[in-house]
Structure 1
Amino acid sequence: MFEYEIQKLHHNELIREAGNARQVRLAVKARRAARRAAAGRSGQDDHEGTVSALRSRFARAA
């Protein structure tokens, strides 16, 4: 009986973690959609990212 209870606790913990992960994914998706909508209203392509930050990290090619 003790092993069954441990298994049930583990099962419930996994379900709880999956629910938390799902909520995080939905929050990230909503935040990303809101950011894209705001960029669309302001005329900026914010979702494209910046290129200038990467240029300073690498040396120029020959």
Structure 2
Amino acid sequence: MFEYALHRLHHEDLLRRAADERQAREALRHRRRAAVRTPEPESHPRHHWFTRAA
């Protein structure tokens, strides 16, 4: 009986870890998609008050 309970705990732990890893991968995927769609604004916007000479 003890071996069965230990096996069950181990199995549940593996399932929990797999679910956590899956959730982390999905969150990373969403963050990467969001970063591609909306790049962060530049910290110093480029304003050219005068046109550059050739």
TM-score by length of 1: 0.62
Point out where structure 2 has 5 or more consecutive residues left out of the alignment. 41-54
TM-score by length of 2: 0.71
Of 22, 25, 43, which residue of structure 2 is paired with 1:26? 22
The answer for the alignment partner of 2:51 in structure 1 is: none
**Residue identity (%):** 15
Over the aligned positions, Cα root-mean-square deviation in angstroms equals 0.7
TM superposition outliers: structure 1 runs of 4+ over 6 Å: none
Structure with the larger helix share: 1
Point out where structure 1 has 5 or more consecutive residues left out of the alignment. 45-62
Q: Which has the larger radius of gyration?
A: 2
Of 27, 30, 37, which residue of structure 2 is paired with 1:41? 37
